[in-house]
Amino acid sequence: MSDRTNLPVYAPLGVGRLQGDRTFPAAAKIALADGQLRSNLRSATATIRAKRANVVGEVADWEELRRAGEAIKASTMASLDTLLIELERNVVANGGAVHWARDAAEANRIVTGLVQATGAKQVVKVKSMVTQEIGLNEALAAAGIEAFETDLAELIIQLGHDEPSHILVPAIHRNRAQIREIFLQEMPGVDRSISDEPAVLAGEARRYLRKKFLETKVAISGANFAVADTGTLTVVESEGNGRMCLTLPDTLITVMGIEKLVPTWTDLEVFFQLLPRSSTGERMNPYTSTWTGVTPGDGPQSFHLVLLDNGRTATLADEVGRQALHCIRCSACLNVCPVYERTGGHAYGSTYPGPIGAILSPQLTGLTGDGVNDSLPYASTLCGACFDVCPVRIDIPSILVDLRARHVEAAKAASRIPSGERLAMAGVGWAMAGEKRWQLAQRGAGVLRHSTRRTTIRRLPWPLSRWTASRDLAKPPVQTFRQWWATEHEDPS
């Protein structure tokens, strides 16, 4: 048994949504061809970037808050076992129940069982990434339980039989005309005369969902934070659908990744400042709810907390990569990422898109050397914009570089037959490790001069054809710098 627990246990594939069905470059190619998507993404990311920069700029101690946030999360990870036990004790002491799930399938079984025990056939849901990660709605549906998403964007996604494409604004890839169309096609009892004005569409969603809130007895939420020393849970939101779900039903089931913990109540003062400004670019989001267990006479009288691993302990075991667990899901890294801005979230294939997804998804599922998620760490130019905006200073570029190394090492271990890239890298590396060999290689490159009479090279064989498809390549010069230096600067004797 002890041997087993020492090996990292990754999230199982085939349940939930942590890996897509095609590699990032293949999925990106499809997204890049969608002009509507690209123009929506461009204006959306630019708008949120500007809002964020504005409200972050007015906080004089922003860097101090970032460093505090980083350290609180790192110290949380260092004693995660004892803090989770403390959280459990405090939740139970305040009338809640705590359940533990090794993976997505187990979490789904637990939640389904809890809903079935109430006899409910319907649940309302607060926007929650972790329940998307584990595929909870599908699991509930298989048990004959209908789950209603209540966040406006999630409702649009659910009605449109679609997938979210952004952490914060999941329906960012849809415009108002498309949303109106989805409502007309899919929303029961819709007013068929509605226009595509955002206020009108939001009003129609309010009307539709209010009925659900008033009649549904079970709610399912995620959590933005949990506080170990008090047992307090937190949901941060804008629309009030979260408050509805956390207040009106008789039973509340909260599913939470084990990393979403902070040690003390006052630690939250740091994150309540970092999160809204980084996320929506607001000084504070419209609504935040905190609750501790059950409050007699106020809100759900039955509360269950499900603590989920699903690959998180495997991530935690990596000294470099464990920082990814510090993420507070603000999505600032998405909005500044030049890759995300062009491809959108679907290209990442996982619940977690953008730069954070590129380091989180492959760590949760594991790098196998040939898996789809193996392509994610390469979906970055390492431009560094994500680190600069991260409210908890996750060094995403360094983790990407580390994951690439882990991937190459995994591929090497998996196959004794080296890939063309591996041979080329080894060959170039060997040549560059000695000056004589390198000079010979430089002469070899010079041969390219004679490949064309033009001043630039316009066509190269695969894989460099992927460069010359859209870009010329300069021809190597007549003389390398080192040859010139030898004639100009070196003493001929």
Residues 371-430 that bind another protein (CB under 8 A): 378-385, 387-388, 398, 401-402, 404-409, 421-422, 425-426, 428-430
Q: Which is nearer to another protein, 43 or 141 (CB)?
A: 43
DSSP secondary structure letters along 226-262: EETTTTEEEEEESSSHHHHHHHSSSEEEEEEETT-EE
Instruction: Report the nearest approach of another protein to the CB of residue 385 (Å).
Output: 7
Q: Which is nearer to another protein, 132 or 280 (CB)?
A: 280
Instruction: Report the nearest approach of another protein to the CB of residue 16 (Å).
Output: 17
Instruction: Report the nearest approach of another protein to the CB of residue 155 (Å).
Output: 9
How many chain residues are in contact with another protein, going by CB under 8 A?
Answer: 170
Q: 10 Å Cβ neighbour count for 297?
A: 6
Stretches 113-121, 130-138, 184-192, 481-489: which one binds another protein (CB under 8 A)? Answer: 481-489
Is residue 75 near another protein by the rule CB under 8 A?
A: yes
**Close Cβ partners of 268 (under 8 Å, ≥ 6 residues apart):** 225, 227, 234, 262
Out of 53, 61, 142, 414, the residue judged to bind another protein by CB under 8 A: 61
Instruction: Report the nearest approach of another protein to the CB of residue 316 (Å).
Output: 4
Residue carrying the six token digits 């899901």: 329
Residue 288 backbone phi and psi in degrees, to 5: -130, 130
Instruction: Report the nearest approach of another protein to the CB of residue 65 (Å).
Output: 5
Q: Which is nearer to another protein, 144 or 298 (CB)?
A: 298
CB 259 within 8 A of CB 41: no
Evaluate the omega torsion of the peptide bond into residue 461 and state whether it is cis, within 30 degrees of 0: no
Instruction: Report the nearest approach of another protein to the CB of residue 456 (Å).
Output: 5
CB 304 within 8 A of CB 97: yes
CB 196 within 8 A of CB 179: yes
Which of 11, 83, 2, 4 minimizes the C-alpha distance to 314?
Answer: 11
Stretches 12-20, 101-109, 128-136, 327-335: which one binds another protein (CB under 8 A)? Answer: 101-109
* Interacting residues with another protein between 447 and 466 (CB under 8 A): 455-456, 458, 463-464, 466
**Cα–Cα distance measured from residue 164 to residue 154, given in angstroms and rounded to the nearest whole number:** 7
Is residue 72 near another protein by the rule CB under 8 A?
A: yes
**Close Cβ partners of 346 (under 8 Å, ≥ 6 residues apart):** 20, 27, 31, 163, 165, 173, 353
DSSP state of 33: T
CB 153 within 8 A of CB 202: no
Is residue 176 near another protein by the rule CB under 8 A?
A: yes
Is residue 3 near another protein by the rule CB under 8 A?
A: no
Stretches 43-51, 137-145, 187-195, 327-335: which one binds another protein (CB under 8 A)? Answer: 43-51
Q: Which is nearer to another protein, 42 or 144 (CB)?
A: 42
Out of 18, 111, 258, 261, the residue judged to bind another protein by CB under 8 A: 258
Stretches 114-122, 129-137, 270-278, 357-365: which one binds another protein (CB under 8 A)? Answer: 270-278
Helix (H) or strand (E) holding 192: none
Q: Tell me the sheet residues that pair with 261.
A: 226
Stretches 130-138, 185-193, 206-214, 349-357: which one binds another protein (CB under 8 A)? Answer: 206-214
Helix (H) or strand (E) holding 474: strand 473-474
Helix (H) or strand (E) holding 311: none
Is residue 5 near another protein by the rule CB under 8 A?
A: yes
DSSP state of 145: -
Tokens linked to 344:
């959108």
* Interacting residues with another protein between 126 and 155 (CB under 8 A): 150-153
Q: Which is nearer to another protein, 115 or 358 (CB)?
A: 358
- Angle CA 355–361–367, to nearest 5: 115
Measure CA of the first residue to CA of the last residue in the chain; give whole Å: 72
* Interacting residues with another protein between 344 and 373 (CB under 8 A): none
- Give the helix, strand, coil percentages of the chain, each rounded to 5: 55, 10, 35
* Interacting residues with another protein between 212 and 251 (CB under 8 A): 213-214, 227, 230, 232, 238-241, 243-244, 246-248
* Interacting residues with another protein between 11 and 30 (CB under 8 A): 24-25, 28-29
Stretches 10-18, 131-139, 352-360, 472-480: which one binds another protein (CB under 8 A)? Answer: 472-480
Is residue 106 near another protein by the rule CB under 8 A?
A: yes
**Cα–Cα distance measured from residue 115 to residue 395, given in angstroms and rounded to the nearest whole number:** 40
Sign of the dihedral defined by the CA atoms of residues 107, 113, 115, 117, in that order? negative
Out of 182, 219, 307, 324, the residue judged to bind another protein by CB under 8 A: 307
* Interacting residues with another protein between 320 and 349 (CB under 8 A): 320, 322, 338-339, 342-343
DSSP state of 292: E
Is residue 201 near another protein by the rule CB under 8 A?
A: yes
Instruction: Report the nearest approach of another protein to the CB of residue 203 (Å).
Output: 8
Out of 36, 185, 266, 451, the residue judged to bind another protein by CB under 8 A: 266
**Cα–Cα distance measured from residue 60 to residue 168, given in angstroms and rounded to the nearest whole number:** 25
* Interacting residues with another protein between 156 and 175 (CB under 8 A): 156, 169-172, 175
Look up residue 24 and give its amino acid: F
Three-state DSSP at 146 gives strand
